[in-house]
Chains A and B, each alone.
Chain A
Amino acid sequence: MTAEAEKPSIITSSLDFLVNWGRTNSLWPFPYGTACCAIEFMSTEVGRYDLSRIGSEYVRFTPRQSDVLLVAGTITYKQAPILKRIYEQMAEPRWVIAMGACACSGGFYDCYCTVPGIDHIIPVDVYIGGCPSRPEAFFDAMFDLQKKIKDESYMKQRAERVKDQIEMIKAKTAEAKAQAQEFAQEKVAEIKDFVVEKEQNLVKKAQFWKE
């Protein structure tokens, strides 16, 4: 299966094209807005700029249904584990946009409480500058992300994933087998001991009755 998937054939490449086409044109963002950049995202989303023109009209407020994690605003150290957990809760495939100076580099908060860029916590695909960034810049980032998604190969990723899973299953089965063997050996040893004990008892009894 892996070898087949790695070789580009007419079926896999056209499947890749189809999957990428679907993914590119319906990116559902999860807005992790903590500061003024989130306001800019709101204006990107509604009528005047209208993000739904490129298929992102569904803003999902749950990480389990969204594709793009949009970090808009300052991330403090108290918030960092929450952001990380939200990223972990998102289903594959997932992409991250760091919007604004604060999310990219900590911005002008060069202090004890602000994370200097969210790439210390999670991988980032696209960075947007600005404080806050304009909706046009956000559109630019979305186009960049679409280009990036178009270059990805669904079949290749799937092959890697399947390989990983198979390895994991093999490791698990080996572990379980070893456990079962150990358990069986223990049991056999127990039964042997039991039988030996019984035999000795019988011998003792026989000797007693002889006497």
Chain B
Amino acid sequence: MESKELTEKIASLLAEKFGGKLDAQAKWDAAVVVPAEYLHNAVEFLKGDASILMDMLVDIAGIDYQTYPNHEGPRFGISYAFKSTVNPGVRVRLKVLVGEADLKVPTISDLFANANWYEREVFDQFGIVFTGHPDLRRLLNHVEFVGHPLRKDYPAQKRQWLSTNDYLLPALEKRLETLGYRVVQRSKEVGTNDNEFLEGSIKE
């Protein structure tokens, strides 16, 4: 089957099953707008259906439509780009629109492992909460960052300092222990302290 025909077929199937609408503004590929509550099922269908097999998640991107010309509807959009490894040249995007009042989208990290970090990034930059995500923390910005920098109302040159660097060893030890390793020696953070100049800061 030609890739164009297959794309059209996928769009019609999505419209039929999950109430998806073709995005008129997408000129280069098929973008289907799906309601947020059907997103997980739609992705499962795309991944698992034998005639489609869109089994590769390329990207998850957040969109802020606040200053977008000719846009009506909710403020935020999340765009999921899929590709097929079986049918070459077939690409489909799913789009979910969410308003500021209810910034919640179901996670798809149980279907695609790489969605875990993509969703963390979208949460970091846009503040969209993915319900059911196993570890929803900031990915790119530091822990003391306030706000979500890729929103259009964030002042682009506002700078936020980080006071200390991450101390990752305790978290690492915990993870090793859950994997069945035994931690022989616990690490303690060594700080630089002016008062301990004569004794030296390293104690253990």
Contact = CB atoms under 8 A, between A and B. Distances in A.
Interface of A: 77-78, 80-82, 85, 88, 110-113, 116, 168-169, 172
Contact of B149 (A80, A81, A112, A169): A112
Interface residues of B, number: 18
A112 B156 CA distance: 6
Interface stretch (B20-28, B104-112, B162-170): B162-170
Contacts of A82: 165
| Cβ-closest 4 pairs across A and B | A81-B165, A78-B142, A112-B149, A82-B165
B139 to A, nearest CB: 11
A81 B163 contact: yes
A110 B163 CA distance: 21
B162 A78 contact: yes
* Chain B binding surface SS class: loop
A80 B159 contact: no
B162 A81 contact: yes
A160 to B, nearest CB: 15
Contacts of B158: 112
Contacts of B157: 110-112
B68 interface: no
Contacts of A116: 159
Interface of B: 140-142, 149, 154, 156-165, 192, 197-198
Given A78-B140, A81-B165, A112-B160, 10 more contacts: A77-B142, A77-B161, A80-B161, A82-B165, A112-B149, A112-B157, A112-B158, A113-B140, A113-B141, A169-B198
Contacts of B149: 112-113
28 contacts: A77-B142, A77-B159, A77-B160, A77-B161, A77-B162, A78-B141, A78-B142, A78-B162, A81-B162, A81-B165, A82-B165, A85-B165, A85-B192, A88-B192, A110-B157, A111-B156, A111-B157, A112-B154, A112-B156, A112-B157, A112-B158, A112-B159, A112-B160, A113-B140, A113-B149, A168-B197, A169-B198, A172-B198
Contacts of A78: 140-142, 162
A110 B161 CA distance: 15
A64 to B, nearest CB: 12
Nearest to B155: A112
A116 B163 CA distance: 16
A110 B156 CA distance: 8
A78, A81, A116 interface centre (most CB from chain B within 10 Å) = A78
B101 to A, nearest CB: 26
Contacts of A85: 165, 192
A81 B141 CA distance: 14
B85 to A, nearest CB: 34
A55 to B, nearest CB: 30
A81 B164 contact: yes
A29 B95 CA distance: 50
B11 to A, nearest CB: 37
A80 B141 CA distance: 12
